[in-house]
Amino acid sequence: MADPAFSRAGPGRRLRPELFVGQADASPQAAADWSRRRILLTDLRAVRGRAYPRITGLFREKSWLFFEILLPFLTTSAFVFVYRALQAPPEYIGFVVLGGAMTAFWLNVVWMMAAQLYWEKDQGNLELYFAAPMNLMSVLLGMALGGMVMSSTRAVAVLVVASLLYGVSFEVDQWLLLLAVFGLTLAALYGLGMILASLFLMWGREAWHTTQLMVEPVYFVSGLNFPVARLGFIGALAVATIPLAVGLDAMRQLAFAGSQVSLLPPLAEAGILVAMTVLFTLAARWSLRTLERRARIEGRLTMRWQ
């Protein structure tokens, strides 16, 4: 005898099945046949979709502003007082304020890009992303775009408050180049984050340890609180490999015209950033494809219990 709980005509609310009917295609074959334009638009809309929760979260969770503005600001302030006590050249105050602002982006890349696919898997989102018809790069780009918007707010807040409080005066001769270098730095930095996102997922639980391992060394060799040129060979190596190091070095030269503490001219460093952006984006695409292939073959990575 059938369980009454499984009755087809239950006592529930009256359904309006007509609302289920969407814009149906004539057949599954027609529905699966997408034009190049539709594929491209889907990928772009997926970028927008994935960026949405991050941008919305910016206005919804005010506590993040406290943790990610006040705390980095305190660190920046500590360095400002040290430089003042040492009677360092005034542009050093500007260097550390700029570095403090850029910290927001690095933290965002580490915690909300690199570790994100790992979180997405735990939440059960990853397999839905894989099962959707968009290019997975759209998800990473959306995460990156949303992250940039989130972090920009924090970076601007740190920059403005610290500059006013500590009397930083910027001397910018080449505004366009400064903006271009800033944009390229973010592109290269988030490109690196996209690669790490796939790699961290493949490394499984080691991701956490790796993340924690990377934070402080990158802080150091990126010269967030001092000119990276002071590190000599290590600084040069950092400039060649870490987007934050090369970007900061270029931005400091452009924001404080006449600064002599640098490794390479800004244009050369902009060239390095362009190369990094291209390289990291291609590598991210490759690693994501590898991830998907491995996920399908090995039966893990996308599924929560595996």
Partner 1 sequence: MTAPVQRVPAIEARDIRRTYKARPRDVVALDGVDLDVAAGEFFGLLGPNGAGKTTLIKILTTLLAPSSGTARVFGFDIEGDTRKIRRIMNMVAGGEQSGYGILTVREQLWMFSQFYGMPGAVGWRRVDELIEAVGLEEQRLQRVNSLSTGQRQKMNFARGLLNDPWILFLDEPTLGLDVSAARSVRELVLAWQAAVSGRTVLLTTHYMAEADELCERIAIVDHGRILAIGSPTDLKRRVQRESVFRLELDRLDGGPARLFRLPGVVSAVLASADGHEGTEDARQTVAVNLVLTDDGALGEVVAALAPLGSHIVALAKSEPTLEDVFVELVGRGFEDEAEAPPPDDGLTPAVPQGAHEAGEPELEDVV
Does 13 sit near partner 1 (CB under 8 A)? yes
Per CB under 8 A, the segment of 77-85, 125-133, 190-198, 230-238 that binds partner 1 is 125-133
Per CB under 8 A, the segment of 24-32, 83-91, 161-169, 229-237 that binds partner 1 is 24-32
| Smallest separation, CB 69 to partner 1 (Å) | 16
Does 5 sit near partner 1 (CB under 8 A)? yes
Looking at beta carbons only, is 97 or 201 nearer to partner 1?
201
Residues ≥6 apart with Cβ < 8 Å to 110: 193, 196, 211, 214, 215
Per CB under 8 A, the segment of 51-59, 161-169, 215-223, 255-263 that binds partner 1 is 51-59
Which amino acid is present at 199? L
CA nearest to 100, candidates 131, 84, 119, 78 = 78
Give residues 235-254 in contact with partner 1 (rule: CB under 8 A): none
Per CB under 8 A, the segment of 25-33, 235-243, 273-281, 283-291 that binds partner 1 is 25-33
| Smallest separation, CB 200 to partner 1 (Å) | 9
Choice from 65, 82, 88, 132 touching partner 1 (CB under 8 A): 132
Does 12 sit near partner 1 (CB under 8 A)? yes
Count of other CB atoms within 10 angstroms of residue 48: 14
CA–CA dist 226, 237 (Å, integer): 16
Does 35 sit near partner 1 (CB under 8 A)? no
| Smallest separation, CB 105 to partner 1 (Å) | 17
Looking at beta carbons only, is 112 or 254 nearer to partner 1?
112
CA–CA dist 112, 144 (Å, integer): 9
Give residues 205-224 in contact with partner 1 (rule: CB under 8 A): 205, 207-208
3-state secondary structure the chain: CCCHHHCCCCCCCCCCHHHHCCCCCCCHHHHHCCCHHHHHHHHHHHHHHHHHHHHHHHHHCHHHHHHHHHHHHHHHHHHHHHHHHCCCCCHHHHHHHHHHHHHHHHHHHHHHHHCHHHHHHHHCHHHHHHHCCCCHHHHHHHHHHHHHHHHHHHHHHHHHHHHHHHCCCCECCCHHHHHHHHHHHHHHHHHHHHHHHHHHHHHCCHHHHHHHHHHHHHHHHHCCCCCHHHHCHHHHHHHHHCHHHHHHHHHHHHHECCCCCCCCCHHHHHHHHHHHHHHHHHHHHHHHHHHHHHHHHHCCCCCCCC
Which amino acid is present at 298? E
Choice from 74, 215, 278, 303 touching partner 1 (CB under 8 A): 303
Does 62 sit near partner 1 (CB under 8 A)? no
Does 52 sit near partner 1 (CB under 8 A)? yes
Does 299 sit near partner 1 (CB under 8 A)? yes
Choice from 105, 129, 166, 280 touching partner 1 (CB under 8 A): 129
Do 207 and 200 touch, CB atoms closer than 8 A?
yes
Does 204 sit near partner 1 (CB under 8 A)? yes
Choice from 75, 77, 119, 152 touching partner 1 (CB under 8 A): 119
Query: In the stretch 139-158, what mask flags binding to partner 1 with x, by CB under 8 A?
Result: -------x------------
Does 274 sit near partner 1 (CB under 8 A)? no
Looking at beta carbons only, is 123 or 241 nearer to partner 1?
123
Does 45 sit near partner 1 (CB under 8 A)? yes
Does 36 sit near partner 1 (CB under 8 A)? no
